[in-house]
Amino acid sequence: MRAACHFISLLREQETLPLIREIEIELYGALSLSRKCHNVDTALYLGLLGYQPENVDLRSHMAVIKRAENENKIELPLSDAGGITIKVKIIANHQAHPGHPYAMTFRARDDYFTVYEETWFSTGAV
């Protein structure tokens, strides 16, 4: 959740968020294998929506999360221009990342290219 929230914040700071059409999150190794039983997808969607573990009430956000998971997209507000719909693709790569057994790579793409990419290593909490 923290990594996804940070990633979206960076896109906002760089003023590239309005260009983004898809966010791809690649989960590696053990993190990809445990994603369902540890609700990793839910945590990632919440983070992309700007939530942190300290400020989210799951009960009040479950409808938003279920919709995002079912449709594989999120809707984010933009400051002046209303909002933007971004496709979300979560990939389970069962191969271990060379840097850490719990790794995830975020990729933000426009219509043609990867605009920004960042890899995170989890120390226990997504």
pLDDT, tens digit, 9 for 90 and up, residues 67-95: 888 898 888 877 766 788 999 999 999 99
> Can you give the CATH number for the domain in which 34 is found?
3.30.1330.90
Answer yes or no: pTM beyond 0.85: yes
What confidence category does residue 124 fall into, taking pLDDT thresholds of 50, 70 and 90?
Answer: low
Measured CA to CA, the distance from residue 45 to residue 51 in angstroms comes to 9
Q: Say what percent of the chain tops pLDDT 90.
A: 46
Any domain includes 14:
yes
Q: In which domain, by residue range, is 96 found? A: 2-121
pLDDT in tens, 98-119: 888 889 999 999 999 999 999 9
Domain presence at residue 126: no
Separation between Cα atoms, residue 58 and residue 86, nearest integer Å: 22
DSSP states along 56-120:
--HHHHHHHHHHHHHHTEEEEE-SSS-EEEEEEEEEEE-SPBTTBSSEEEEEEE-SSSEEEEEEE
